Amino acid sequence: MVQSYDVLVIGGGIIGLSCGYYLTKQGKRVVVLESGGFADGASGACDDMILFQSKKPGINLELAFESLELYKSLVGELEDSLGFANYGGMVLIENERELEVMEEFVMQQRSYGLDVEILTKAAMRKKQPFLHERFIASTYSPMDSQAYPFAVMHKFARKGRQMGMQVVHKSPVVGIQKDGTGDFLVTTAQNMQYRAPHVVNAAGAWAGKVADLIGLNVPMEPRRGQIIITEKIPAIGETNLWSAKYLVTKLKPGIQIDSTEEEKRLGLAFALTRTEGDSYLIGSTREFVGYDKRTTMEGIRAIINQAVSFIPVLKDVNFIRAIAGLRPATPDGKMVLGEHAGVSGFFTAAGHEGDGISLAPITGKLLADMVCEGRSDARLEELSPNRFASNAKEVS
Ligand SMILES: Cc1cc2nc3c(=O)[nH]c(=O)nc-3n(C[C@H](O)[C@H](O)[C@H](O)COP(=O)(O)OP(=O)(O)OC[C@H]3O[C@@H](n4cnc5c(N)ncnc54)[C@H](O)[C@@H]3O)c2cc1C
């Protein structure tokens, strides 16, 4: 039997559930089809940061401001704290070269409305007394925040279901076609069929494979990230932390920065956040290893060594778990959001790489506006799936 809906969302990660929630809120009959179980993708194996300081002035930073406001309102709307917290964040600077790049970047971000500043060594150490002595300065923004991805996903699903949304697990989508009426007919591995005039491809790192099912090109590469989780410990500083090194190499690709071969191979960058449960998430790697989402001894050892070199007291702390997830990465580093030319009614909302938790609410809201009101604002043009060549195959 074919089940009919207004919108079929493929992928039940934080992006698919956010899209499903906002579409349902606007009165659409929605089913979310997820190939695995709850939180099976990157959204169940990641950090929790709503991070501003990593973002260049432009669309991602603009959307992050809007997403933060939505998170604040979702706390009431979804009737849960969502692990939302606002400890602020600091980017740790090791040498003069990094300082020069970060000073320029902070100025650009400030002119775009981000509350961020450079702290002297003394001011930095006041907020972070356990840091290694070698750090010469840091940035500080009180805006960097966080939300617990499991809680956000769980509450999107719960509230969505209360309003009529269906979430079907263990249902990998294996076929998508248009039928004679112009509707989409989607088939799962269990041979279940779903019909709707709209489909949203929210399959994260697998979005390219899903697009392929209907002859579309969405270039998406999985980028593995490994992190470790510590036991509960007392707070070791006032804010969450990142290293400037990775950011600086992204901002000035040619810059000479001392990195070991292992750091380069693993794409290692320091990130530390305190969870609602008083443990710390410490990461992470950025590796192109296909769809392999296993943790590795090399990755975990490198994360631990790096963490102890940043905050020596961590050598006496136990870690209780290591996890790995696949960030959905696009060639130009921007997410894909919008309707595909030539396949009316087919939308993609994927490719957030390291920003999917930050940008989940705003992605869902904008996607729902596009589907429900046929409205896409001009500033989103640069995120359109149609920016990729050979996209415009006509599908009848
Ligand atoms: C180590 C690490 C740290 C990170 N830290 C942060 C952070 O601090 N802040 C931040 O903003 N972001 C962070 N990210 C990035 C963030 O996790 C991702 O951007 C986000 O989770 C992507 O969400 P998604 O819903 O697009 O993908 P996913 O969560 O991967 O969901 C996609 C879903 O689609 C399903 N699927 C695939 N194919 C099919 C199919 N054929 N049929 C049905 N379902 C299908 C998959 O099973 C999966 O559940 C981090 C990521 C990692 C790995």
Q: What's the gap in Å between 41 CA and the centre of ligand 1?
A: 5
Give the model's confidence band at 393: pLDDT under 50 very low, under 70 low, under 90 confident, else very high: very low
Instruction: Supply the pLDDT for residue 209.
Output: 98
Tokens matching residue 328: 């959905």
Identify the H or E element spanning 90.
strand 89-93
Q: At 187, phi and psi to the nearest 5?
A: -115, 140
- Per the prediction, the chain carries an average pLDDT of 95
Residue 390, pLDDT score: 58
Residue 395 is predicted with a pLDDT of 43
Residue 373 structure tokens? 């009101």
Q: Give pLDDT, residue 56.
A: 93
Q: Is the pLDDT of residue 138 over 90?
A: yes
Cα–Cα distance measured from residue 149 to residue 47, given in angstroms and rounded to the nearest whole number:
8
Compute, in angstroms, the gap from residue 6 CA to the centroid of ligand 1.
24
Mean pLDDT score, 328-333 = 96
**Res 113: pLDDT:** 95
- In this predicted structure, the answer to whether residue 325 has a pLDDT above a threshold of 50 is yes
The response to whether residue 225 sits with its C-beta less than 6 Å from ligand 1 reads yes
E strands, 34-161, in order:
49-50, 89-93, 117-119, 137-140, 145-146
The CA-CA-CA angle for residues 280, 19, 79, to 5°, reads 60
The reported pLDDT for the residue numbered 259 is 84
- Decide: 49 and 242 in contact? Cβ < 8 Å: no
331, exposed or middle or buried, with CB in 10 Å at 0-12, 13-18, 19+? exposed
SS3 371: helix
Q: pLDDT value at position 389?
A: 67
Residue 286 has pLDDT above 80, yes or no: yes
* Ligand 1 centroid – CA 205 distance (Å): 7
| pLDDT band at residue 254 under the 50/70/90 scheme | confident
Q: How far apart are CA 387 and CA 382, in angstroms?
A: 7
Query: How much is the pTM?
Result: 0.97
Which is nearest to 138 in space by CA: 259, 228, 237? 237
pLDDT in tens, 164-184: 999 999 999 999 999 889 999
d(CA 336, CA 154): 24
What is the tens place of the pLDDT at every residue in 332-381? 999 999 999 989 999 999 999 999 999 999 999 999 999 999 877 889 99
Phi, psi of 282 (to 5 degrees): -125, 130
208 lines ligand 1 (CB under 6 A): no
Ligand 1 atom at minimal distance to the Cα of residue 224:
53
For the chain, how far is it from start to end, CA to CA, in angstroms? Answer: 23
Please determine, for residue 75, whether its predicted confidence score (pLDDT) is greater than 70: yes
In the chain, the percentage of residues whose pLDDT exceeds 90 is: 92
- Residue range 92-120: average pLDDT? 97
Q: Which domains does the chain have, with CATH numbers?
A: 2-44+150-220+332-387 (3.50.50.60), 89-142+221-329 (3.30.9.10)
Alpha-carbon distance 106 to 116, whole Å?
7
